[in-house]
Amino acid sequence: MTIANICRESKGVAHTGLFFLLVCGLLLLGNVLGPQMALAGQEEMVEGIMHVKNGSEPADGVETWQVEELWTVGGEDDEDVLFGIITQVQIDDENNIYLLDNQLSEVQVFSPDGEYLRTIGRAGEGPGEVTNPAAMTLLPDGSVGLVRAMPGKLVMLDKEGQPIEDFVPNDYDPKEGGLFLAIRCYPAQGNLIFGGMELRTDVNAGTQERNYHIRSYGMDHERIAEFYVKNVHWNFSNFTLREIDTDFPWQRLDVDDEGRVVMAPERYGYDINIYNSDGTLDRIIERKYESYERTQEIKDLVDRAFQAQMPQLPPGSNYEAETHEPDVAELRIAEDGSIWTQNSRQTWAGQDGEFMYDVFSSDGHFTKQVRIECAGSAREDRLFFAGDGRIYKVSGFLAAAISAQGLGGEDDDSEPEPMAITCYKVK
C-alpha cells in the first residue's frame, strides 16, 4: 500500500461536514452593513483571554435583503460556457470575476458584466499546471495562486495565465520523510497564510502522525507564525476512520485586511477564535446553539461517502461517522470587518428561496441575522460574496458534487443540470 493510499481521507472546499466528505475525490484526502445598534454579548476575561458570550438570538433581529438578477452564465441554456464544479469565486481590483473550477482544473475569468474574458490554468504537472486545485487566491500584484494539495504548494500564474515562480513553504523538508498537503491559502499584509497538513507515516509500525495547522509565511517562504494546530495519531491495526479525526476548519476560516485569522476551530460549540497576525489569540466569540442532527438522507450520503473510501484503507478497516453536522458550516469576513457565518441548521433546514446568515461585529457581538431572498436553496446551492457589493450564486452545487463522486445511490442514474453562475445586486 502506497503512502498516498494510506493518507487518503475525506476532504473538500465547501459545506463542511457532509460536503467535506462528498468532494473527497475532487481534492486530496459583501455589502457594507449599517451601524450596529446594540451590544449583543457579554464581555468577560477568562484566563487572560476576552470571551464575548452571546445568546441564541441577535441583538437587532433579522434583516431581509431582496436581490435583483444582473446576469447568468452556464446552465442548460448557455451553449458557450461549460462548468465542472465551481468551488470558489473571487474578484480582482478591476471587479473581474474569477471562478475556480476544481473538476476542470482551470479558472474562468469574466468581466463585471458577465462577459467571458479568458481561461487560465490547466490540469497537469508542468509549470503553471495543477490537477484539481484545492483553492485559489488572488494576490495584490494581480497574480493568481492555485493550491496544489499534494505535495503542497501554491502554483503561481500571472493574470494572463503564464507561469511564474511557485511558492513552497520552507519549514517542511520532504527528505525527512512524510508529506505536506496544502488545502487553503490567503494573502495577508504582504504574507501568505496556509491551511495544511503534515503526514508522517511509519510503514513498519503501521501508524501515521497527522498535523493539521494554520500558518503564515513571508514571501521569503519562511514561517512567521502558527495560529492553530491539531494533532491526530492513526494506528492502522484494526483501523477505524473517525470523521471527527478528519474535521478541521478549512471552510470555517477567513483572514481580514489586518492579517488576523478568524476561525471556528471545533466542530461543535459554535466558538469563533480571532487570532492576531503574530499568532496570538485575541478573543473567543461564543454563541448559544443546539447542534443540528443529521437527517436520514444526510446519514445515507455520509455512509456512501465513507464506503467509497474504504478500498483506499487497509483491509478490515471500519468508519465512524458523526451524528450531527458542524455547528458553523461556513465563515467569511465582510468588507466592513463583520463576521458572517452560516450555521448547519441554516444550511440544511432552511426554506427554499432564502439564505440565512448570522452576523457578528468585528469584536464579536451577535448583532443580527440576514435573510437573503433569492431563488434557490441553501442546501443545494451556494452564495459567494466577492467583495464588490454583489452576490454570486453557484446553482446545483450539491448535486454536482454527489454526481461527480458517483454517490447518488443505486436507483439514481440521472445527470445533474449543468452548473450555472448568477450575479445579483441587493435592491
Q: Which domains does the chain have, with CATH numbers?
A: 3-426 (2.120.10.30)
- DSSP per position, 312-333: GS-TT-EEE--SB--SEEEEEE
Peptide bond just before 151 cis, omega within 30 deg? yes
| DSSP-assigned beta bridge partners for residue 284 | 51, 273
Instruction: List pLDDT tens digits, range 201-243.
Output: 998 999 999 999 999 999 999 999 999 999 999 999 999 999 9
Amino acid (one-letter) located at 138: L
Relative to beta strand 62-74, strand 86-91 is unpaired
Query: Which pLDDT value is given to residue 338?
Result: 96
Instruction: List pLDDT tens digits, range 156-168.
Output: 999 899 999 999 9
SS3 call for 392: strand
Query: Which pLDDT value is given to residue 414?
Result: 66
* pTM across the whole model: 0.89
Longest dimension (CA), the chain: 62
Query: Which pLDDT value is given to residue 413?
Result: 61
SS3 call for 92: coil
Cβ contacts of residue 302 below 8 Å, gap of 6+? 18, 21, 243, 294, 321
122 vs 132: CA distance, rounded Å: 9
